[in-house]
Chain A
Amino acid sequence: AQKVTQAQTEISVVEKEDVTLDCVYETRDTTYYLFWYKQPPSGELVFLIRRNSFDEQNEISGRYSWNFQKSTSSFNFTITASQVVDSAVYFCALRRAGGTSYGKLTFGQGTILTVHP
């Protein structure tokens, strides 16, 4: 069985602080995909990143960066110089590779990030 754990239920920071959202996963598969989604107050799910298990390179996109460590089964997400617009619920998710697994995501519980001005 697959499992995704986001131990941080809520995080509160002041604007311009850096913040890291933790994600730990469990899977017996050797090939899998990891995702991060953002859910702003408006409610829709916004795709942020997909990482496959063979690619352990860290990725940076503007103020966002992701640290994938297969050895610790973690896929953490850092926002640098946070802004009020970053306030949202962030979900980490896991999917098996191939077969009928497209679209079958296992989500973490979500982390509520509040950035205060």
Chain B
Amino acid sequence: NAGVTQTPKFQVLKTGQSMTLQCAQDMNHEYMSWYRQDPGMGLRLIHYSVGAGITDQGEVPNGYNVSRSTTEDFPLRLLSAAPSQTSVYFCASSYQPGGGNTIYFGEGSWLTVV
């Protein structure tokens, strides 16, 4: 059981480049989320999904797109990276139907935009 897998772990981008942070879970969880962590601000919710085909915005969605075509995958897209998007990104999943509601986090992706 791999849990929540994020790739890549480290990435350096130039301003204006695009990229996708991948997130996959193998726990049949319905709910998946993306957070960003910045110094002194804790983790803030970017986007959220309650199931395949359903996404919603969190606290800081600007500059990011998401889609949820399958239950397992929830990629986060940066269409035109900006230095303000330099951060650590965490993917999380939770809620297995009929099971518990523990929230599982990936190991994080460190993104630097220069």
Contacts and interface: CB of A to CB of B under 8 A. Distances in A.
A12 B13 CA distance: 35
A3 to B, nearest CB: 11
Given A44-B108, A45-B90, A105 B102 contact: no
B95 interface: yes
B29 to A, nearest CB: 8
Given A91-B42, A108-B42, A102 B105 contact: no
Chain B, interface size: which category? 20 to 34
B43 A91 contact: yes
Given A50-B102, A109-B42, A43 B48 contact: no
B42 A103 contact: no
B107 A110 contact: no
A104 B46 CA distance: 10
B50 to A, nearest CB: 5
Grouping DSSP codes into helix (H, G, I), strand (E, B) and loop, the A interface class, with mixed when no group exceeds half, is: loop
Given A103-B31, A105-B103, A43 B95 contact: no
Contacts of B102: 47, 50
Contacts of B108: 43-45
Given A45-B90, A102-B95, A107 B44 contact: yes
Interface residues of A, number: 21
Contacts of B58: 104
A100 interface: yes
Contacts of A103: 31-33, 48, 92-95, 103
A44 B105 contact: yes
A50 B104 CA distance: 13
Given A43-B88, A103-B31, A109 B41 contact: yes
B45 interface: yes
A102 B90 contact: no
A35 B110 CA distance: 24
Interface of A: 4, 6, 9, 35, 43-45, 47, 50, 91, 93, 100, 102-110
Q: Which 4 A-B pairs have the closest CB atoms?
A: A107-B42, A103-B31, A102-B95, A103-B94
